[in-house]
Amino acid sequence: MALFLVQRQRKGAIDFAKAVRQCGFQEAVELLSAIVPSESSKHPSKTPDHTEQEQLKPYTGKYEKFKVECEWLDKRIPDKAVLERYGVFAYNNPARKSAYSGRVLIPFKSHIEGTIFGYLGRDIHEDTQVKYLIPSGFPKSRFLFGAHELCTSSPLPLRRVYLVESPFCVMKFAMYELPAVSCFGWHCSPEQLQLLTGLCKGVVFLPDRNKKAESSQVLPAIAEKLWLRFPELPAGVDDPEQLSRESILAL
């Protein structure tokens, strides 16, 4: 019965269009198609994007059981308490053949709970061809290094957060008691920007000098959500990690 009524309504609409426009059946159908969307256009099929499809599972490995002393890491971040707080350590397990052995591991944490979903492996040898190692297909663009630590240490939103490239720079700023996060590179994804808007009211963006031009591409998106400063690094400084506390505050 319902189908019959729908068919009658459609036929009536076509007859009405033919009478008003003084046209044939096909032209009336085309006219109505342009005015009234089809059922398929009313309810388009939704194909979830990559991030919606992928349900990340928490990391369940045992890298942290094989922490080792690392002179390179201690020299770069001499404050052991900071390393412990951010969960960064050198890993080596000779009994297991792993590409991560001998690297410094940097966790990808959820910003609220601090759940670890994986690690970024940093090779400490300067002549290496693969400096950073990351699980294949891992969506690092959904994480901000240092976001969890800010969420658990200060009332939010903060007035200002420093946005830098390197997790090591975040920890260096933490040694100065300055709030910073890293996008694991110069690019700030929409997901990372969304996290930033929950952390702070404004951003001081400090990419490395050699990425200054590339990083300017993300400035409009950040400025649309937050107040933004994009200062030049002082002469002779190529990496904000090299800055003193006083020079950072003077930017």
Comparing C-alpha atoms, which of 77, 80, 247, 105 is closest to residue 162?
Answer: 247
The model's pTM is: 0.78
Sheet of 132-133: strand order equals 67-68, 89-91, 103-109, 116-123, 132-133
Indicate whether 3 pLDDT > 60.
no
Domain ranges of the chain: 7-36, 63-139, 147-249
Q: What is the pLDDT of residue 35?
A: 41
Q: What token pair was written down for 119?
A: 């690690």
Three state DSSP letters for 199-220 = HECEEEEECCHHHHHHHHHHHH
Query: Using one digit for the tens of pLDDT, what is the confidence trace for 55-69?
Result: 899 999 999 999 999
- DSSP labels, the chain: -HHHHHHHHHHHHHHHHHHHHT--HHHHHHHHHHHS--HHHHS------HHHH---------GGGGEE--HHHHHH---HHHHHHHT-EEE--TTS--TTTTEEEEEEE-TTT--EEEEEEEE--TT-S--EE--TT--GGG--BTHHHHHTTS-SSBS-EEEES-HHHHHHHHHTT--EEE-SSS---HHHHHHHHHHBSEEEEE--GGGHHHHGGGHHHHHHHSEEE-PPPPTT--SGGG--HHHHHT-
pLDDT in tens, 238-248: 999 999 999 99
The CATH fold assigned to 147-249 is Dna Topoisomerase Vi A Subunit; Chain: A, domain 2 (3.40.1360)
pLDDT digits (tens, 9 = 90+) for 183-217: 999 999 999 999 999 999 999 999 999 999 999 99
Question: Is the peptide bond preceding residue 58 cis, with omega within 30 degrees of 0?
Answer: no
| Cβ-contact 151, 159 below 8 angstroms | no
Contact 214, 190 (CB under 8 A): no
The CATH architecture that domain 63-139 belongs to is Alpha-Beta Complex (3.90)
What are 14-53's pLDDT values in tens digits? 564 555 455 565 555 444 444 443 333 333 333 333 443 3
